[in-house]
């Protein structure tokens, strides 16, 4: 079907609809499908990027949800909900436990709530999380090493170190949760590390605040069926709740 007669607003709506379903699109494909010049497509993408409706790339565009917000951005969003999740997660942990704690804004709330306990053994790839437990109280802290991104370590070195340990609990922040493929992450190194955290703990807990509902990131998290429960600050809706039930994972709303 010819699309050359589409108005600018219709073209831009088509671009956003394509990104919503696929996550990315190239200028060449839009040139072909919309039957307009590449310069017209680039102008449309530039306009949408200026309106913060997509992320402009060399040769195309990405969905605004295809790249993870910075830690600074995440620390300014829904902190009340994240603190509620962190407090509920910390209530699961008795003194003297061993705990794996992922990097991120919600897991930092878990660490802050856990810091009042004593004799914990902490394994974390996050320097801010580690610093919550260095004030005494008999805690031992193992900082997982690897390539550092925003104060947290990832990569093969991080996997190799974590593989030596097994903990009573693991608390893992989730980037995106939907009905399918349920739990997804923005990077392969992050997904791989989270998958190992799930398999190296007796009780593994996924932490998801409401801003992550009905979003899909590019990489599936492995071992999600090993999760014991998922803690959320609002009910995510029956469809997502049913997906959690299909995986045999308890949904806790705090």
Band of residue 149 on the pLDDT scale cut at 50, 70, 90: confident
- Higher pLDDT among residues 22 and 149, named by residue: 149
pLDDT of the residue at 150:
85
Residue 107 pLDDT > 90: yes
Average pLDDT of the segment spanning 187-208:
96
Is residue 104 pLDDT above 70, yes or no? Answer: yes
- DSSP letter for each residue of the chain: ---TT--HHHHHHHHHHHHHHHSEEEHHHHHHHHTS-HHHHHHHHHHHHHTTSEEEETTEEEETTSSPPPHHHHTTSSHHHHHHHHHHHHTT--TT-EEEE-SSHHHHHHHHHHTTS-S-EEEESBHHHHHTT-S-TT-EEEE--SEEETTEEESHHHHHHHTT--EEEEEEE-SEE-SSS-EEES-HHHHHHHHHHHHTEEEEEEEE-GGGBT---SEEPTTGGG--EEEESS---HHHHHHHHHTT-EEEE-
The answer to whether domain 8-63 has CATH 3.40.630.30 is no
pLDDT of residue 124: 98
Confidence band (pLDDT; 50, 70, 90) for 2?
very low
Across all residues in the chain, what is the average pLDDT? 91
Do 135 and 170 contact (CB within 8 A), yes or no? Answer: no
In this prediction, residue 111 carries a pLDDT of 97
**Can 8-63 and 72-253 be said to share one CATH topology?**
no
- β-strand partners of 52: none
| Per-domain residue ranges of the chain | 8-63, 72-253
- In which band, very low, low, confident or very high, does the pLDDT at 25 lie, cut at 50, 70 and 90? confident
pTM of the predicted model as reported, rounded to 2 decimal places: 0.75
The band of 57, judged by pLDDT with boundaries at 50, 70 and 90, is confident
Is the CATH number 3.40.109.10 carried by domain 72-253? Answer: no
* Pick from 72-86, 138-152, 191-205, 224-238: least confident: 72-86
% of the chain with per-residue pLDDT over 70: 93
Q: Give the pLDDT mean for 201-217.
A: 94
């Amino acid at each position: 079907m010819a699309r050359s007669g589409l108005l600018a607003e219709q073209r831009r709506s088509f671009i956003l609809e394509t990104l919503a379903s696929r996550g990315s699109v190239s200028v060449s494909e839009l040139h072909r499908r919309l039957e307009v010049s590449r310069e017209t497509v680039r102008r449309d993408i530039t306009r949408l990027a200026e309106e913060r409706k997509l992320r402009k790339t060399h040769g195309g565009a990405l969905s605004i949800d295809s790249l993870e917000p910075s830690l600074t951005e995440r620390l300014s969003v829904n902190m009340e909900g994240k603190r509620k999740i962190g407090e509920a997660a910390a209530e699961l942990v008795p003194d003297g436990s061993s705990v794996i704690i992922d990097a991120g804004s919600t897991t930092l709330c878990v660490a802050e709530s856990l810091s009042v306990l004593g004799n914990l053994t902490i394994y974390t790839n996050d320097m801010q999380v580690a610093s919550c437990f260095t004030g005494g109280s008999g805690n031992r802290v193992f900082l997982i090493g690897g390539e550092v991104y925003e104060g947290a370590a990832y990569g093969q070195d991080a996997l190799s170190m974590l593989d030596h340990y097994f903990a009573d609990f693991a608390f893992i922040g989730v980037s995106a949760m939907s009905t399918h493929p349920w739990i997804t992450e923005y990077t392969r190194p992050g997904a791989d590390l989270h998958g190992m955290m799930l398999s190296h703990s007796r009780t593994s807990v996924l932490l998801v605040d409401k801003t992550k509902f009905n979003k899909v990131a590019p990489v599936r998290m492995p071992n999600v069926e090993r999760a014991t429960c998922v803690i959320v600050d609002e009910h995510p809706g029956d469809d997502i709740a049913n997906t959690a039930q299909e995986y045999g994972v308890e949904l806790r709303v705090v």
